[in-house]
Each structure stands twice: as C-alpha cells, then as structure tokens.
Amino acid sequence: MPCSQRREDPMTSLITVNEDLNQFHLTNGRVSMILKVVEGKLINLYTGAAVPDRADFGYLVDDGFRVQATTADEHGELHIEQSRQEFPEYGRGDFRGPAITVLQGNGSRITDFRYAGYRVAPGKPELEGLPATYAVSTPDDTGAETLSIDLVDDLTGLTATLNYTIFRDEPVIARSVRIANHGDEPVAIERIASLNLDLPDDDYEMVEFTGAWAREREPHRQPLHPGVQSVASMWGASSPYFSPNALFARPDTIEDRGEAFSLSFVYSGNFDLHAEVDAYGATRLQLGINPAGFAWRLAPGESFQSPEALLGYTDRGLNALSQTLHRIVLDHLERPRWARRERPILINNWEATYFDFTEEKLLELARLAHRAGIELFVLDDGWFGRGDHARTSDRAGLGDWIANPERLPEGIAGIARKINEIGMRFGLWFEPEMVNRATDLYEAHPDWVIATPGRESAVYRQQYVLNFANPAVVDHIYERMHAILDGANVAYIKWDMNRFITEAYDATRGAEHQGEVFHRYILGVYALYRRLLAAFPDLIIEGCASGGSRFDMGILAYSPQIWTSDDTDAVERLSIQYGTSYFFPVSSMGAHVSITPNHQTGRSESLAMRGSVAMFGTFGYEMDLTRVGEDELDEIARQVAFFKEHAPLLHNGDLYRLRAPYDHRQAAWMVVSADRAHAIVGDYVILGVPNRHKSRLHLRGLDADAMYRVTTAPGPGLGPDDALRGRLGYSAEDEGIGAETTGTATSAESGTDTKAAPITPGVVRSGAELMHIGINDTNIGPDFASRLYLIDRL
C-alpha cells in the first residue's frame, strides 16, 4: 500500500493510510474518522463531519496538561490522561473508565496495548457466532471497507484487533474488538468495550430510551455533566427498561437540523452504554457488554470476539440520523430475503381466545379473517403439551413442543393444512428458551434449568429459563422445533421470551467460567436462530420478548420484525412507536389492531384510530372477529386493502417525525417515497381541547417545486366521516383540503383502480406550501381521533 492514498472518485478507497506517519483516515464524504499512532498508542484525532484528506493531521495531537502520571518522558507529545484514546486501559495514568480490563495470573490488571500493524480489506467480515452488519458487493464496488488495527501487550502476549468498517453510502462506522491470547498463561477478560470514542468537549445532550413493560423506549434528553451517566442491562436481555441505543446531540440539535452521534449495539444481552465527562470537559463514550458479572476466561491459543457497535453521525438533525439507521437496518443488517420484501398481514388468536380454544374456533376465526383479506393466521400459546402437562394455562406444558391432540386432533400439520385450504398462510408461537416444572422436559432434565447450586430459584409466570449456554439444550430445542416445522407448512414463527435470567449459573462448567453465563446464553440463542433459518430460509421469525423486551439490532439480524410492545392500545402505541423510530424502521415494528376496550389500558378507541396507528408498522390484528358486526368486518377489509396498496411506501419510504405525542395532545408522522413522489401522513388527536387554537401540520421531505394532490384516505374507517366533520363545525377548506376532485382511490405505484370507497375531496398544493404553510388540522376530531392524508405528486 502506498504511503498515502487519497479518494478521488466515489469508487476509490474509503480508507486512506499514511504509513510513514501511522495515520488512518476513514471517510465517505459524509463522515470522517482520523486515527494516528502516537508513541505506540492509537489516538482518535477527529470524528465528525467529513473533511478533505491531507498528508498529515498531526497538528490535531493534543498534548494537554502534564499534571498526572505519564509513561512518556517530559518532552514526549502524548499525555495519556487527556489523550483521545481508541483503546484506553486500566492503571497507566488514564483515570477514566477503560475499554479493557484483563485479570492475569499474578492478580494484576495492568496492560499496555501498543500498535503492531494494520490491514485494509474490501467489504465487511462476519463475526463468529454473533450478528453483525454486512456490506452488499457489486462488480464495481464492495459497498464498504474495513480497517483492522492490531495492538499487542507484550507481557501477556495478548493481541487486540480493532475492526472499523465504513460504509460507502452511510455516515456509519461499525466497530468491534477481537482479543487473542498468544501468551503462555490463561487470563480473564473482565471488561471489553466494543466501541470507545473520546470527544474533545462535553457540549452534548444524551438522549436515552427508557421505560418498562408496556411502555417501552420513551426518549429522555438531558445535558452531559461531569462524571458518568449511563444506561445498562443486567436482565440477560437488552430489556424494556433501557435500550442499547442512545443519541448524543448538540443542545440546539432538533429533528431537522444540528449535529449528533448515535450509538447502537448489535447485541441482545447485558450491555453498558455510558458517557463520562472528565475534569477538563472532554467526553468519553463507551458501549459494550456489561462488565458486572462478566469474566471470560481466555486460555492460550483462544480468542474472544466482542459484539459489534455502530457509530452514526449527522449534521442534518435527528430525523436524518434516524433515516440513516433505518437504511442500515434494512440494507446492511436484516436478512435480504425479507428486509425490503412485503410480509403477510396477520391475525393472532391470543387476545381473541387466550388459552381457551378449539380447532373449530380457530378455523372460524380464520375464515372471517380471510374474508377480510388477512393473509396469515398465527396460532399463539396453548397448542402444545399432553395429558397432565397440557398447556391450558401458564402452569404447564412450556418446553414440551408437541401438539395437544385434544385440541388439534391432526396436529400442527393438520391445522396448518386446514388454514392453507381456507386460503391463508399459517404461523405458530414458541417460547423456546423457557420451561415449566409440569413438563416431560423438566422431569427428564431438571439440570437443564439455569439455577445456582444450593440456592432457591426464583420463579416467574410459573416458568424457568433453560440453560442455552449448554449446547445439548440448544440441540434438543432445535430438534423439537425442526420436527414441527419440517412436518407442517409453517410460514411464520412468533418467538417469545417472557422471563429474565436470575440465579445465573452454568452447571456444565467450572467456577472459573461462571462469568461467561450471560454471554454464552445469548450465543446459544443466536445459534438456534441461525440453525432454524438455515433449515427453513423462507421462514419469517418475529421476535417477541414479553413485547418489546428484546427490541435490539442483534435480534433484527435474524427477525425482520419484532413485537414492539405487549401494549396494543393505539394511544400508547403512538409514544412507543414514535420512540422506537429513532433507531428502527417502520417495517421492523410489529403493530396490530387489538380489541376494545383495550386489555392493557381499558381504553376504548375507534377502529379507525387503531388501524391508522398500526399501519405504521407490520400490520395485523389481535381480536376476535367472531364478535364483531358486519360493518366492522367491512371496515377491517377496507383497512387491509388500503394497507396492501400502500405497504411498499409505508415500509420502504423515509420516515419523518412531525409532532411528538408526549404532551398527550396530538401526534403526527409521515412516510415519503425515495423519489419524493408519494407520501402518507398519520395525524392524531390524543386528547381533545375545547375551543382550541388553530393548528397547522407542516409536512417534510417533499419536493418544494413540485405540485401535489392532497386527499384524505378512502373509507369511513380511515378518517372522520362527513357527518362527524359537520358536527364539529368546519369545512373542507378549513382543514386545507378543497373540493377540487373526487373519485376512486388509485394505486400510486401501478395506477390500478382498487375499488375502494370514494376518496374525500382533494386539492393541489406545492411542496413548498405543504412544508412551510402546512395543513390546517385544527379540527381532526375529539379524543382518540385520526386522519390519514395521501400526498401524490402530479
């Protein structure tokens, strides 16, 4: 490789190396990261907006103040405590949190990793046993490049390989670390950060996404302060409480302008994400496996691969950063087989029947669903176990994956065939990581449960966690699931996980390996995903962990959609889906129309409101269609037809957040096609306000110079009908929609007549008007009202 290589056109290298100066510049014209080796240490000179390359960025080396310990002589240029390190260590003069801590045989935790070499490779390597982003290669371009930098600790013989992948088209850098033991003695890795980023100042606000079951991922924003502020999980899963994603935004950064970084963990287990501000106002960001309870024994000749972390950047606001992350998920993380492919609209029987069902009840529900145009029938919990171990409540059956013949006389193959004969695909619920005591599995293998010897085990939902750190457990569950899937036409799996890990202990390994339990467990979960998808590549797996308790980029590598929350109340889902959208695309969010009054909140909302919220997700239903009237069934059919027509736009367009729901008054969002020709706007009233002031909804993402026709969505089930609008005392012109056209809804993609109900009158407005003047949405309706707007360029 030449001493210095510069990018001259879009297809040249994304990574420039000056070997004489040990300097590395990663840039794609949207983001730059500049690294340099100084006195053997890898230093981050700059990360942010793209800058032109130059032969020497050495002027960015900051020697700081010499008031603390340093290994350099008094004339050296590196002061370790105030240097922006890429792989800081414990105990060598930097008193901030380290990226690595290694316990050695003599009890020491001191290491000194120094530069030993680099490699640049096209594309993006896989990570052994772990989910990771990938690059799509073409004959002319690999889509990404990867820089690998080796750092060596001579005393222990440890090598740390830092991998950096920069994508050609997105301002995102993927970072991971691999530790190899080339020494003569075993060590224990007690801390390993997948990403460390030192920033020169603390003028940022941390946006973290917190919540609990049924109220997941609400953003909370606060300025950085001296010391440490963090989010973390110790539940054995990413958890509903704290998300393994965060934003670090300048104080003036808002949706459509300003600078921010994003951190995301491609991992589903315990994590630690934190910011540390030192006494000089510098900020250290770290993301990795939670070090609490973690210790990985590394024998000579062995290596350990950290999960991947993603660093995103924007200088165009938070919404642009979200759109970047959405494209990363769809084009570089999810399996290509389903990432941008439309998935079937489903109905799940859970809220319709819970555990109380017969085969005929299921078939009756399926016939009505098919009549409404629904494409996939999902049989939820309660189909398995036999005799005393039959799953008729949450007390038994979990882990015995064999159909209950009293409920399904012909087994899963029989019910799947009958659903297929109705004209629908068939899906099935599993909770493969758990077991009840009242099961054949537990009676045969009580040692397969995670439990600490001599300690009483906690129980939750009458279930225990299987030890997926034990390969024999994973093998058994795979064989049982494979037998069912291989013997029946199952198109979809709902993979649930309703209990966190307590009394963590791996009975198959000795004391020196007990710090590995949590990580080995999630590696076992990933292994089961991979084996099932290898055997059944067309299978759709929807992740579900008590709702959104494992909504993370690790699971999205295997599941193109995740059940966003067990809270199916449309008003609550406005907040949950809004917060989730900061990192995850619409097509990843499992969202269904559920029963009313809602079973989580007791709130009653119109079918229109429930439908118009769920459409901004992977659309489906959780309700008993045998209990709805003909009018409601017809309305469901209209919703299904509308979603089918517009699903490619809803799932592949660019999402714009227009109005946050957190004041409990209104909310709005929209999706715009890549060519800016079409858009759909969801506009919602949460709580009505009497004699309210005028409100205008300002759209975004349109072509300012183009002319657009604006209509409200067809059918009374998707917006207020004329009678309601009349009672509210406003005209079409009041809402900014004039009476220039009427007709039948037409597909924006194909121009074909959908035979839907007549559209409401529409008007023509310029993109500039719609974005700067907006739409008058003062009088959408009372509490829990909604309207969908269709925006089509002429």
> Residue 779 has what pLDDT?
73
Domain identity same for 569 and 586: yes
Sign of the CA dihedral with 518 first, then 524, 526, and 528 last: negative
Domain end (from 649, 684, 712): 649
Residue among 583, 591, 533, 536 nearest 562 (CA): 591
Q: Which H or E run contains 8?
A: none
- Asked if residue 521 is part of any domain, the answer here is yes
Domain end (from 624, 649, 674): 649
Q: Which residue range forms the structural domain that includes residue 755?
A: 657-793
Exposed/middle/buried for residue 424 (C-beta within 10 Å: 0-12, 13-18, 19+): buried
> Residue 689 has what pLDDT?
83
Domain end (from 271, 299, 333): 333
- Asked if residue 5 is part of any domain, the answer here is no
Domain identity same for 572 and 461: yes
Identify the CATH number of the domain in which residue 710 sits. 2.60.40.1180
Distance CA 3, CA 584 (A): 40
**Whether 637 contacts 373, CB under 8 Å:** yes
Q: Angle CA(561)–CA(566)–CA(572) in degrees, nearest 5?
A: 100
Report CA-CA distances (Å) from 368 to 35, 216, 423, 629: 61, 32, 11, 11
HSE of 185, CA atoms in CB hemisphere, 13 A:
11
* Total domain count, the chain: 3
Number of H helices, E strands in the chain: 14, 39
- Asked if residue 384 is part of any domain, the answer here is yes
- Asked if residue 407 is part of any domain, the answer here is yes
Domain identity same for 315 and 404: no
Distance CA 305, CA 176 (A): 8
Q: What is the pLDDT of residues 551-607, one digit of tens each?
A: 999 999 999 999 999 999 999 999 999 999 999 999 999 999 999 999 999 999 999
Distance CA 631, CA 534 (A): 44
Secondary structure (H, E, C), 741-779: EEEEEECCCCCCEEEEEEEEEEEEEEHHHHHHCCEECCC
Q: What is the pLDDT of residues 190-226, one digit of tens each?
A: 999 999 999 999 999 999 999 999 999 999 999 999 9
b/e 502-529 (16+ beta carbons within 10 angstroms → b): bebbbeeeeeebebbbbbbbbbbbbbbb
Please state whether the peptide bond connecting residue 597 to the residue before it is cis, i.e. omega within 30 degrees of 0: yes
- Asked if residue 669 is part of any domain, the answer here is yes
- Asked if residue 3 is part of any domain, the answer here is no
Distance CA 369, CA 424 (A): 9
SS3 276: strand
**Whether 284 contacts 47, CB under 8 Å:** no
Distance CA 67, CA 88 (A): 19
Distance CA 659, CA 666 (A): 7
Please give the single-letter amino acid code of residue 246. Answer: A
- Asked if residue 348 is part of any domain, the answer here is no
Structure tokens at 326: 């959405």
Q: What is the pTM for the complete model shown? A: 0.93
**Whether 275 contacts 236, CB under 8 Å:** no
Domain identity same for 223 and 326: yes
Domain identity same for 620 and 667: no
Distance CA 11, CA 392 (A): 60
> Residue 701 has what pLDDT?
98
Query: What is the rounded average pLDDT for all residues in the chain?
Result: 91
Q: What residue ranges of the chain have pLDDT lower than 50?
A: 1-10, 64-75, 716-760
Domain identity same for 529 and 599: yes
User: First-to-last CA distance in the chain?
Assistant: 52
Q: Which residues pair with 594 in a beta bridge?
A: 622
Structure tokens at 668: 């709005």
- Asked if residue 311 is part of any domain, the answer here is yes
Strand ranges (E), 19-134: 23-27, 31-38, 41-49, 100-103, 114-122
Domain identity same for 324 and 363: no
Identify the CATH number of the domain in which residue 517 sits. 3.20.20.70
**Whether 286 contacts 84, CB under 8 Å:** no
Structure tokens at 104: 């050695």
Q: Angle CA(511)–CA(514)–CA(520) in degrees, nearest 5?
A: 140
Distance CA 717, CA 634 (A): 9
Listed in sequence order, the residues at least 6 apart from 572 whose beta carbon sits closer than 8 Å to its beta carbon are: 214, 215, 565, 600, 601
Domain identity same for 322 and 359: no
**Residues of the chain with pLDDT > 90: what percent?**
85
Exposed/middle/buried for residue 421 (C-beta within 10 Å: 0-12, 13-18, 19+): exposed
Identify the CATH number of the domain in which residue 315 sits. 2.70.98.60
Distance CA 447, CA 444 (A): 9
> Residue 390 has what pLDDT?
97
Domain identity same for 301 and 401: no
Place of tokens 């015995």: 400
Domain identity same for 416 and 531: yes
Domain identity same for 229 and 138: yes
> Residue 186 has what pLDDT?
98
Phi, psi for residue 532 in degrees, rounded to 5: -65, -45
Domain identity same for 644 and 777: no
Catalytic residues: 496, 566
